Structure 1
Amino acid sequence: MDHNVYLLATDPKDPCRDVIHSRDTSLRVRVFCVDEEPFDADTNEIQLYGYVKDKLYAFETVNITPEDALDIVSAIQWYAKYVHYPELEILPEDPRRDHDVAI
């Protein structure tokens, strides 16, 4: 199986605006520091969550395609290693208590 290579685009003015890019596919994942900025999930995208130390992060795809959906977890695991927190537990749901999903 091929090994994906990931790249990170950062905003030097806002450390909570990273975007993970797959070099070999169209996968892109936005990183949000949920504790420091508002985050409204896009219903057309996939969101996963995780705590880096005590801060909650949201990971949201950008224009996800079916071919890229399986690579999301490996992209987040790569990011966790990049930020020196490889023990990041990836959560499928938003763990904030007061978070309500509009239906």
Structure 2
Amino acid sequence: MDHNVYLLATDPKNACRDVIHSRDTALKIRVFCLSEERFSPHENEIQLYGYAHSKLYAFETINIVAEDALDVVGAIQWYADYMDCPEMEILPDDPRPGQNIAM
């Protein structure tokens, strides 16, 4: 396949709660606006972060399977383009102070 096609499900009650869906795989990624809502990462999912338009976003997979893990960054890049922020840097860790303390 030359490229993946992604679809976006939006929550009409929460403009900040999007879900990115891959058309051709089982990949789903939930989007969180960290400036507007609480986020507690799930242990068995992949989380990545990025700033767009001065807001920090968290991206968390939903029921990730091994064969979809390599497509996560591509899906987030697609979403950044959708948000008209193609220069968004995708971060592996939560950049907020005190968020990456080992328990």
TM over 0.5: yes
Equivalent AA in structure 1 for residue 80 of structure 2: A
- TM-score, length basis structure 2: 0.95
Aligned residues: 103
**What corresponds to 1:9 in structure 2?**
9
Asked if residue 50 in structure 1 is aligned to residue 46 in structure 2, the reply is no
Rounded Cα–Cα distance in structure 1 between residues aligned with 2:6 and 2:16: 18
> Where does structure 1 differ by over 4 angstroms across 4 or more consecutive aligned residues?
none
Gaps of 5+ in 1: none
What is the root-mean-square deviation of aligned Cα atoms in Å? 1.1
- TM-score, length basis structure 1: 0.95
Rounded Cα–Cα distance in structure 1 between residues aligned with 2:70 and 2:22: 12
Q: Contact 2:27–2:62 (CA<8 Å) still a contact in 1?
A: yes
Equivalent residues in 2 for 1:1-103, closer than 5 Å: 1-101=1-101, 103=103
Rounded Cα–Cα distance in structure 2 between residues aligned with 1:26 and 1:101: 31
Q: 1:101 Cα shift?
A: 4.2
